[in-house]
């Protein structure tokens, strides 16, 4: 599998993407994490179309994509922690959940009725160009049907959404390959809602300890799609911590495979979690084929991006 090619940027592609977005239609575009399904976040109609195209439950709020901090500050209340994190990690694979400003013009449907909003500044040059050109906040969850593996190439988006999207901008394979880290800053203590493309340790080095999302008193949890037990799932059963391959299984390796086993694919020959993250979703898709009975995946250490990779794999392996 190759890593990111520099995007060939078609100015006409951007122009037509802007026109579609301004007219309430959906445009898929590359970010450095995964491909997003974009719609005008200020339009109830566009936001409704995103939920419908993904078959996503309406109670799962969407991440709003902006080109720069000035645009973010128009929508949410920015505190010192947010400023520090933005200085260090934006543009990049970090989403911040912050209080909506009273004059926030993003559709309440995108917040699923909450008084908070998830915001991110993506680094991908094509995403940056698009956001600047359209001049509106863009809601963009991953461009896959709800519950399935996120797309990391334009071809994956076409396989997932076909005619449910008006246009797909092709920026090559995604560099990070995992969704953004989601950090809730609405409370006194920062709370990690979803591990992702920015390691928790990097955040803690900047703002101090971060708590993991916990079930609240009545047994409910602060739920998002990244927090559902079964998510990111291929069609085939997934078996984790595999040290052997059972008959019919495709073996997905990380580092040196066990003696005598020929892997169907390799996430990273050198056991590098950054490279494994890049290849993860494409590998799950590539192995999700009828000639196999399941996908067996070698153990991956929790270090760095390993935590986010294992989070996704546990959900891929969870009972459906
Ligand atoms: P996705 O758009 O599929 O990448 O997932 C969006 C993620 O952002 C989910 O994990 C949600 O939990 C989280 N999220 C978005 N908006 C909010 C919000 N207002 N409050 C809490 N979490 C949010
Ligand atoms: Mg998603």
Specify the pLDDT at position 268: 98
59 C-alpha vs ligand 1 centroid, how far in Å? Answer: 10
Question: Domains of the chain by range and CATH?
Answer: 7-212 (3.90.870.10), 238-317 (3.40.50.11030)
Ligand having the closest approach to the CA of 193: 1
Among 286, 312, 313, 281, CA closest to 298:
313
Name the β-bridge partners of 40. Answer: 138
Specify the pLDDT at position 320: 77
Q: Find out whether 283 and 268 touch, Cβ atoms under 8 Å.
A: no
Q: Which stretches of 71-115 are assigned E, i.e. beta strand?
A: 94-99
Name the β-bridge partners of 297. Answer: 252
Q: Which stretches of 51-125 are assigned E, i.e. beta strand?
A: 63-65, 94-99, 116-120
| Helix, strand, coil share (%) of the chain residues, nearest 5 | 30, 15, 55
User: pTM, whole model, 2 decimals?
Assistant: 0.91
Ranges in the chain, pLDDT < 50: 1-9, 215-226
Specify the pLDDT at position 2: 38
Ligand 1 pocket check for 118: Cβ under 6 Å: yes
Specify the pLDDT at position 135: 98
**Complete DSSP assignment for 1-53:** ---PPPPPP-HHHHHHHHHHHHTT--EEE--SSS-EEEEETT-HHHHHHHHHH
Q: Find out whether 280 and 191 touch, Cβ atoms under 8 Å.
A: no
Q: What is the pLDDT of residues 245-279, one digit of tens each?
A: 999 999 999 999 999 999 999 999 999 999 999 99
Report which DSSP code applies to 138: E
Ligand 1 pocket check for 37: Cβ under 6 Å: no
Report which DSSP code applies to 175: S
Ligand 1 pocket check for 116: Cβ under 6 Å: yes
Our mutation pick for probing the ligand 1 site, out of 62, 139, 182, counting the most ligand atoms within 8 A of Cβ, is: 182
Ligand 1 pocket check for 40: Cβ under 6 Å: no
Query: In what order do the strands lie in the sheet containing 265-266?
Result: 238-239, 294-297, 249-253, 265-266
Ligand 1 pocket check for 226: Cβ under 6 Å: yes
Neighbours of 222 (CB within 10 A): 14
State how far the alpha carbon of 96 is from the alpha carbons of 39, 51, 72, 210, 252, in Å: 19, 21, 10, 13, 33
R_g of the chain, CA atoms, integer Å? 19
297 C-alpha vs ligand 1 centroid, how far in Å? Answer: 27
Residues 6+ apart with CB under 8 A from 32: 92, 93, 122, 123, 124, 127, 174, 175, 176, 197
């Amino acid at each position: 599998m190759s890593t990111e090619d520099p995007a060939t940027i078609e100015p006409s592609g951007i122009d037509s993407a802007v026109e579609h977005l301004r007219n309430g239609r959906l445009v898929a575009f590359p970010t450095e994490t995964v491909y997003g399904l974009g719609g005008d976040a200020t339009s109830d109609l566009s936001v409704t179309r995103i939920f419908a195209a993904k078959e996503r439950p309406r109670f799962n709020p969407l991440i709003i994509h902006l080109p720069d901090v000035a645009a973010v500050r128009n929508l949410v209340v920015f505190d010192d922690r947010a400023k520090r994190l933005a200085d260090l990690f934006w543009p990049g694979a970090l989403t911040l959940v912050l209080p909506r400003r009273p004059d926030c013009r993003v559709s309440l449907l995108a917040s699923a009725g909450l008084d908070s909003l998830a915001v991110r500044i993506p680094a991908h040059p094509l995403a940056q160009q698009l956001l600047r050109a359209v001049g509106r906040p863009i809601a963009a969850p991953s461009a896959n049907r709800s519950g399935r593996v996120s797309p990391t190439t334009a071809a994956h988006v076409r396989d997932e959404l076909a005619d449910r999207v008006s246009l797909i901008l092709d920026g090559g394979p995604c560099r990070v390959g995992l969704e953004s880290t989601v950090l809730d800053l609405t409370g006194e203590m920062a709370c990690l809602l979803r591990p992702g493309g920015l390691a928790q340790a990097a955040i803690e080095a900047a703002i101090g300890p971060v708590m993991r999302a916990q079930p609240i008193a009545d047994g409910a949890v602060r739920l998002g799609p990244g927090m559902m037990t079964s998510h990111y799932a291929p069609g085939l059963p997934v078996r984790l911590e595999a040290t052997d391959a059972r008959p019919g299984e495709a073996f997905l390796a990380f580092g040196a495979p066990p003696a005598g086993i020929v892997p169907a694919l390799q996430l990273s020959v050198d056991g590098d979690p950054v490279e494994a993250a890049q290849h993860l979703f494409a590998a799950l898709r590539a192995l999700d084929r009828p000639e196999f009975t399941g996908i067996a995946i070698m153990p991956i250490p929790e270090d760095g991006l390993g935590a986010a990779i294992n989070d996704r794999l546990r959900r891929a392996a969870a009972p459906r």
